[in-house]
Amino acid sequence: MHSIPRRTALQAGAAACAMALLPARAQPAADSITVAQIVDESAAQHDVSRDFVVGSRAAWAELNATGGIRGQRVQHLVLPTDGSDGALQRAWQAALAQPDCVVVSGCVGDSAAAAVARLQANAPTLAQVAPWLMRAWQGEHDCVFPIFADYQAQIAHALRSLATMGITQAGVAYANPALRTQLQASLARAAQAAGLRLQAVRANDPPAMVLFAGATLELYGFIGQLRLPPGRQCYVVALADVNLQVLTDLGQLPRGVSVIATQPVPVLHSSLPVVRAYRSALARLYDEPPTPQGLAGFIAARHTAQLLAEVAGPCTRANVLALCRRRLPHSVDGFQVQYQDGRPSAALVTQAMLTADGRIVG
């Protein structure tokens, strides 16, 4: 495949996605299986979703180029939504209606993955594997199988990092009331465990460290309000819904402000085989810079492919779900997937920094 510029790839992908939702479409070949991916393309989530899907597309394209799964080609069915309840329900129904769809993989972002998890309660036959599900989740029907560190693990990691730097207090800011409700209790517990005192943030006098929960555009608006006295520095620690590459494209950070992004994947310069494979595939297939969100999408697809290859007997929804429920440990080319009490237990958390002069470090 030739290199495809970002805009061309996204336009072509959007057209293909729209066609996938049409009720009349050609049926997949008998020697193929379908993997659905439900995507939130709303303004707040678009930058995360876009890169995540590009990473997934690269992984599935590479898999099919090397023979697919047990001789079966994988049809990667991307179902885009605007993030609304109605659109997410229609996408879920489209996945259910596809007879050869055996799994839902890499749903993105967090709200979309959680909405799909709730819809699964009405039809607990289709597993949801490796979603970008940042909130803690435990459903009674056991159909959701996260592999990435959730918000709680990210917060704990970020606050431990601050504590080791000798910082005893930090500011905290939420992009909206819903995130405050969702995360405030977890944040308070993590801060107490790390020996940190949290305070509200004043734009004209922010503390040296601020923990921010929200998406990229919301973070950009927040840091644009900060006013630092001459010589002061402010480090804003953001959770995984922030895309540093996009933040760089939006413009220069205010004087004295740096952003540290917490991510549930290895750093992009890691020597892990999965990181090298992602960077190599991205360079061959897309005109794209590597991002943690893209790496996450690549890992999600690779892990799903591992599971499908291990299914005993025919690759059906029931057999895939039965295998997922065993929660066997896996290594996705060095990225460890393990569970304890139904939740990821080896969840990786790393950090990268966007410096005031526009460099991404880490």
Question: Do 9 and 144 fall into the same domain?
Answer: yes
Q: Is the peptide bond before 195 cis (omega within 30 degrees of 0)?
A: no
Question: Do 18 and 133 fall into the same domain?
Answer: yes
SS3 249: helix
User: Does the residue 356 lie in any domain?
Assistant: no
Q: Per residue in 156-170, pLDDT tens? A: 888 888 778 788 888
- What would the mean pLDDT of 114-127 be, rounded to a whole number? 91
pTM exceeding 0.85? yes
* Rounded CA separation 296/266 (Å): 9
Question: Do 134 and 279 fall into the same domain?
Answer: yes
Q: What is the CATH number of the domain that holds 225?
A: 3.40.50.2300
Q: Per residue in 298-310, pLDDT tens? A: 999 999 999 999 9
CB atoms within 10 A of CB 140: 7
* Rounded CA separation 175/251 (Å): 20
Whole-number average pLDDT of the chain: 87
98, containing H or E segment:
none
Distance from chain centroid for Cα 225:
27
Domain that holds residue 11: 4-148+270-343
- What would the mean pLDDT of 137-151 be, rounded to a whole number? 88
Q: Is a pLDDT exceeding 60 seen at residue 9? A: no
- What would the mean pLDDT of 188-202 be, rounded to a whole number? 84
Domain count, the chain: 2
